Amino acid sequence: MNSQEKPRKQNIFQKWFLNNRFSVVLLNILLFFLIIWVFNKISFVMNPAKLFVSAILPPLLLALIQYYIMNPLVDILEHKFKVPRVVTIIGLFLLVAVLLVWIVNTLLPIVQTQVDSLIRHWPHIWNDATIAVQNMLSDPQFHSVKNDINDAIARAQDMIFKSGQHAIDAALDNISSAISIVTMIFMTLLTAPFILFFMLKDGHNLRPYLTQFAPKRWQNSFGELLYDINTALSSYIRGQLTVAFWVGIMFAIGYSIIGLPYGIALAVLSAFLNLIPYFGTFIAFIPAIVIGIMISLPMFIKVLIVFAVEQTIESRLISPLVMGNKMEMHPVTTILLLIGSSAVWGLWGVIFGIPIYAILKIIIMRVYNYYRKVSKVFDEDEKTSLVPKKTVDNEEVTKN
């Protein structure tokens, strides 16, 4: 009997199905679409679960965002200064309450006044801006592009009018929906603080609690998976909110310096829209451009200078310091993801497309690495990669 047994010859089923990379990929794809088809056939069973999730999701998301903002401070005070978590949480809640009172009494009236005035005067602003552009295009140098710009202005004006008309009609036709939305907002604001309190108090115990339900041989990997997901979400949420805050501050300072009307309202709008990567700031910049053109050419140039300074500081200082490359996403991937998710899910896709992609990427990469480790499909590739390069070179020299 030989001390080393010869490898057993594979039969056709093992060779073409079990240990064939192409067949395994096709089978996995087939199973994936089969699962989707089955869930589509039993969608009526999932409707109660969908309603349940849609009811609890808004307060949970609001609490989760606040959790990622407050939790680092709670952890630092607990670990370094031995401050009880409950004491820190109560202090943060009081600080947030004071901040909200200040916003409601100071900042909100200013923003509300400017927004109301902007809404009332926007038709005149748009008309004056259109006249200013047409007067500028009366210069003979712009005759070649005058018709194209006039057509673009007319299309934009028609689109804005139709969008506003559709919004008014939808609001009038769906009063019950408006009431349900108001109810949802009220319940979200009422329940989110309670969820946030217990998340800050016991959130650090969630990962060990979930890990214990996994099989023992998978508990370490499952715990690392939860840690990676939590790190990705926290980095994205904290980074986006921090960058959006400083974008609003910079626009508020810049618009105040140049004396742009409705500057505070436009700065707040820029901060909110900056949560949409790459496109948000440019979308919020359109009203500022229109108002600048309406006032005068020097004001238009000042608005452009403010935008250029803000973009320079954000792209070269704030974003690299705050965000870095924590999401490990190429800009082209981000842009394509935003376009695709907005086409499928609208505004929600734009907001949640990137974090959902990050979570799925982490899960898929871990599953793929585990599959490489346990499957025989990649054995040949790994054996080839383990052959020393010098040995290969020596064999080529010997052959020559």
Bigger pLDDT: 397 or 109?
Answer: 109
Higher pLDDT, 211 or 44: 211
Q: Which of 108-112, 215-219, 278-282 has the lowest mean pLDDT?
A: 278-282
Please state, in angstroms and rounded to a whole number, the distance separating the CA atoms of residues 110 and 103.
Answer: 10
pLDDT value at residue 172: 47
Q: What is the mean pLDDT of residues 280-298?
A: 85
Mean pLDDT (whole number) for 26-50 = 82
1 band by pLDDT with thresholds 50, 70 and 90: very low
Give the mean model confidence (pLDDT) for residues 210-219: 88
- Reported confidence tier of residue 99, pLDDT bands at 50, 70, 90: very high
Work out the average pLDDT over 197-214. Answer: 90
Q: What's the rounded Cα separation, in Å, for the pair 310 and 251? A: 7
Provide, rounded to the nearest whole percent, the portion of the chain with pLDDT above 70.
75
CA gap 155, 161 in Å, rounded: 10
* pLDDT the model gives residue 130: 74
Q: What is the pLDDT at residue 397?
A: 45
The pLDDT, as a whole number, for residue 8 is 62
Residue 400: per-residue pLDDT: 46
pLDDT tens digits along 122-136: 778 777 777 776 776
Residue 171's pLDDT band (boundaries 50, 70, 90)? very low
On the question of pLDDT at 159 being above 50, the answer is yes
Q: What's the average model confidence in pLDDT over 353-373? A: 87
**Helix H segments across the chain?**
12-13, 21-41, 43-81, 85-102, 108-137, 143-173, 175-202, 206-211, 219-258, 263-273, 280-295, 297-313, 319-322, 331-345, 347-374, 379-386, 389-399
The first and second tokens of residue 195, run together, are: 């969820």
- Region 339-349: mean pLDDT is 82
Mean pLDDT of 277-298: 84
* Highest mean pLDDT: which range of 118-122, 279-283, 298-302: 298-302
What would the mean pLDDT of 6-14 be, rounded to a whole number? 61
User: What is the rounded average pLDDT of the residues 304-328?
Assistant: 80
In this predicted structure, what is the pLDDT of residue 149? 62
pLDDT (average), residues 253-268:
93
**44-48, 83-87, 342-346, 383-387: which is most confident:** 83-87
Query: Among residues of the chain, what percentage have pLDDT more than 90?
Result: 27
Asked if residue 161 has pLDDT above 90, the reply is: no
Per the model's pLDDT, the better-predicted residue between 230 and 25 turns out to be 230
Instruction: Give CA 387 to chain center in angstroms.
Output: 43
CA dihedral defined by 237, 239, 243, 245, rounded to 10 degrees? 50
* pTM confidence score: 0.75
pLDDT at 391: 46
- Predicted pLDDT of residue 144: 59
Average pLDDT, the chain: 80
Residue 41 has pLDDT above 90, yes or no: no
What pLDDT sits at residue 351?
80
- Residue 362 · residue 225 · CB < 8 Å: yes
Helix (H/G/I), strand (E/B), else coil: 215: coil
Residue 396 has what pLDDT?
47
Q: What mean pLDDT is predicted for residues 244-273? A: 92
Phi-psi sector, 259: left (phi>0), alpha (psi -120 to 50), beta: left
Could you tell me which of 213, 245, 200, 262 has the C-alpha nearest to residue 64?
Answer: 200
pLDDT digits (tens, 9 = 90+) for 365-391: 988 888 788 776 666 555 555 445 444
pLDDT class for 156, splitting at 50, 70, 90? Answer: low
Determine the Cα–Cα distance for residues 18 and 375; give it in Å rounded to an integer. 9
